Amino acid sequence: MSYFVAILHMVDIEKSKEIRPDHLGYLNKLEKEQKIFAKGPFADGTGGLVVYNADSYDEAMTLAENDPYIVHHARRLELKEWSIIE
């Protein structure tokens, strides 16, 4: 299992407000499946991030692309693999 950071850059603040309940529902479902390591908005309002637990970049991309924020073009996705240094 690897970690992948999905940076969700704000594109449309009004659309983001409208889609937020669906976004949170989607993330809650993935949390129950243990696919989420961390999540939260940026304090400056420019977007947020989700850290996915996934077996591959492709799996993480699929999870991120199915986020309602991305599906409805309220946010722009940037996905990177993340290495935790212990």
Q: Residue 15: is its pLDDT beyond 90?
A: yes
Write the single-letter amino acid at 62: T
In the chain, count of helices (H) and strands (E)?
A: 3, 4
pLDDT of residue 84: 85
Tell me if residue 79 falls in helix, strand or coil.
Answer: strand
pLDDT band for 86, please (50, 70, 90 cuts). confident
Task: Work out the burial of residue 60: count CB atoms within 10 Å of its CB; fewer than 13 is exposed, 13-18 middle, 19 or more buried.
Answer: buried
Instruction: Provide the pLDDT for residue 59.
Output: 98
Q: What does the pLDDT look like over 29-56, one tens digit per residue?
A: 999 999 999 999 999 999 999 999 999 9
Please tell me the distance from the alpha carbon of residue 82 to that of residue 52, in angstroms, as a whole number: 10
